[in-house]
Amino acid sequence: MTQQMTSPEHIEYVLRLGDNALILGQRLSEWCGHAPVLEEDMALANMSLDLIGQARMLLTHAGRLEGRGRDEDQLAFLRTEPNYRNLTLCELPNQDFGRTMVRNFLYSSFQKLLWERLMTSSDAELAAIAAKSIKEARYHAQHSGDWVIRLGDGTADSHARAQGALDYLWPYTAEFFATTPVDDAVAAAGVGPVWSELETAWEALVMPVLAEATLTVPARTPFRSYGKFGRHSEHMGHLLAEMQIMQRTYPGAQW
Amino acid sequence: MSGATTAMLTEARAWQVLEAVPDPEIPVISVTELGIVREVVATATGLRVVVTPTYSGCPATEVIAQSIRDALVAAGGGDVTVETRLAPAWTTDWITEPAKEKLRAYGIAPPGGDAPVGPQPIRFVPKKLACPRCGSTDSVRLSEFGSTACKALYRCRSCLEPFEYFKPI
């Protein structure tokens, strides 16, 4: 790896990508043994594994860029809540299968577009991770997209649950495209894309599926979430407690 | 170790050794047939092997690296290091043709050789896959994910048996 000055924004950006994958991967793992049918139990566990694998690559990369000797485990398990930079959407509770699928659809559609763009990042390692992850994100988006249509355009109960999930989750999607100084810096350096372009592409991707699912897209609200700045929802602390307990109890423990 | 000549493996011989290292999840095919061994380089003291993961979170990755190391060391490969390389990303196109036949005989429908490149439509209309047991194309997809991330689950409506499909990526 070439030694060059890496901006703090660049490190934070990679950390954010790693945290998104880690936290949603942790959430999806909660389904293991609890999904409505065996096939979906395996699907959710596999998607969780994909995300945790992506998190390992991204956090390892962030740790190297940072140059303070922190590895993937230290970054994943030994930070405190305000130091996680994931989108709030990723940490929200799974609730029912419907909300889990609607979230996966909104998020993996975003990820698919983001990885496509990061494949040409000026950060070669990030571009390699993106080329690997895009192949996984495509299947996640296909899987959840099929379920959103099946549930939305399904029974009265499944429709009501899918609509409730969309109403609940929609305001959090604004954070995908919220531009911060970190986003400006990485866009200027050719590391990451400009969000405004991605937002248009994302809407073009998700709107037809939501329409086919007979779901009503809520209006944008003034509510803003701030996970990118480390200000998390009340759900984050509980998730971290469960995820970190082994490393906190046995510091330095390895598999 | 006085006077012992260090008989290192040649690269060609190392490839032959690796042809006998099975994939831990699908033992009918080897790690070379799966296409994950990208490079074998003879070094001053042994061998350097470059592998690429199939999926980011594939739990078999570490077992595979260990099996490769064990096999080459046992064959006299000296110091064996296994490196992971991400780019170019693994594709099912790298699975060899004979290996695809072995997959079919094992009960896994092989990838169709149509790994998606570039933008894909979000809706996925499953192909009519041929059942690896009876050959019927009257099959239905049960789930996008099977027992591992790399496979999807299908059911044959002719012989009524479930089967797995190695997804193209």
Q: Do the Cβ atoms of B31 and B22 come closer than 8 Å?
A: yes
Q: Are residues B111 and B161 in the same domain?
A: yes
Q: Is residue B143 part of a domain?
A: yes
Q: Do the Cβ atoms of A88 and A225 come closer than 8 Å?
A: yes
Which contiguous run of DSSP H or E holds residue A206? helix A195-212
Chain A neighbors of B89, CB-CB under 8 A? 128, 131-132, 135
Q: Are residues B18 and B80 in the same domain?
A: yes
Preferred mutation among A24, A31, A47, A49 to probe B, highest tally of B CBs within 10 A:
A49
Q: Are residues B64 and B116 in the same domain?
A: no
pLDDT at B38: 94
Q: Do the Cβ atoms of A170 and A217 come closer than 8 Å?
A: yes
pLDDT tens sequence across B32-71:
999 999 999 999 999 999 999 888 888 888 899 999 999 9
Q: What is the CATH number of the domain that holds B20?
A: 3.30.300.130
pLDDT at B147: 81
Angle formed at CA B58 by CA B54 and CA B59, multiple of 5 degrees: 145
Q: Is residue B94 part of a domain?
A: no
Q: Are residues B71 and B17 in the same domain?
A: yes
Chain A neighbors of B155, CB-CB under 8 A? none
User: By residue range, what is the domain housing residue B54?
Assistant: 11-84
Structural domain count of chain B = 2
Give the start-to-end residue ranges of the domains of chain A.
8-217+224-249
Q: Is residue B5 part of a domain?
A: no
Out of B84, B116, B148, a domain closes at B84
pLDDT tens sequence across A98-139:
999 999 999 999 999 999 999 999 999 999 999 999 999 999
pLDDT at A1: 46
Token match 């072995």: residue?
B102
Of A43, A128, A138, the CB nearest to B143: A43
Instruction: Give percent of chain A with pLDDT exceeding 90.
Output: 93
Q: Is residue B89 part of a domain?
A: no
Q: What is the DSSP string of B84-112?
A: E--SSPP-GGGS-HHHHHHHHHHTEEPP-
Average pLDDT value for residue range B118-123: 53
Does the predicted interface ipTM exceed a cut of 0.95? no
Confidence category of residue B149, pLDDT binned at 50, 70, 90: confident
Instruction: Give percent of chain A with pLDDT exceeding 70.
Output: 98
Answer yes or no: is pLDDT of A146 > 50: yes
Residues linked to residue B166 through DSSP beta bridges, in sequence order = B151
Q: Which fold has domain A8-217+224-249?
A: Ferritin (1.20.1260)
Cβ of A131 within 8 Å of Cβ of B87? The answer is yes
Q: Are residues B70 and B112 in the same domain?
A: no
pLDDT tens sequence across A187-216:
999 999 999 999 999 999 999 999 999 999
Largest CA distance in chain B: 67
pLDDT at A223: 86
Q: Is residue B153 part of a domain?
A: yes
pTM for the full predicted model: 0.89
Torsion of CA A205, A207, A212, A217, to 10 degrees: 150
